[in-house]
Amino acid sequence: MKFIRLAVVVFLMSLLSGCDENVVYKAHEDIDDGLWYIKNKPSFKVEITDTTETYNLYYLLRNALQYPYYNLYITRNFVGPDGKVISNTLEEVFISNEITGKPYGHGLGDLFDHKIPFLKNYRFPRTGTYTFTIAQSMRQNPLPFVLSVGLSVEKVPVKQ
């Protein structure tokens, strides 16, 4: 019985450790007191060394269940290694069901983590450091119950 349990634990750990092999960059910034001010614009610097790969890019958000809206407007500034703006985009992301209020994402207690795609199958044009700056663009300032904001850049898995 102990052997079976040990085998299951080893198998699950190997699955979990293999999940992040395509992650090139993953970081988040905590929002002080869960109050996201418009002037607070977390910035993430991503080093890209392989331009032959395609990547999926995701927002990483953590909010409390008390967050008062079903959506969130985000302004994303995307700057290339040469300092030129690649895009400055206002996006609406949905973090709970508009009708039922049921949160999307994964939760534990009253905290919910969201991984929301914003660029799929993207190919970076050149190697170097890209900067992503994320700002909240809601009418409420500060925006309550947003606990952290982040970014994940992942290689698109090769299908076999």
CATH number (domain holding residue 77): 2.60.120.380
Is 109 part of any domain?
Answer: yes
Range of the domain at 78: 24-155
Is 5 part of any domain?
Answer: no
Domain count, the chain: 1
**How far is residue 125 from each of residues 8, 58, 61, 63, measured CA to CA in Å?**
43, 18, 27, 33
Q: Tens digits of per-residue pLDDT, 120-143?
A: 999 999 999 999 999 999 999 999
Closest by Cα among 62, 58, 60 to 108: 62
> Residue with structure tokens 């170097």?
128
DSSP helix/strand/coil, 150: strand
- Counting residues of the chain whose pLDDT is more than 90, the rounded percentage is 83
Round to whole Å and give the CA distance between 25 and 153: 5
Q: Which pLDDT value is given to residue 52?
A: 95
- Asked if 72 contacts 136 with a C-beta cutoff of 8 angstroms, the reply is yes
Structure pTM?
A: 0.85
Average of per-residue pLDDT across 8-33: 71
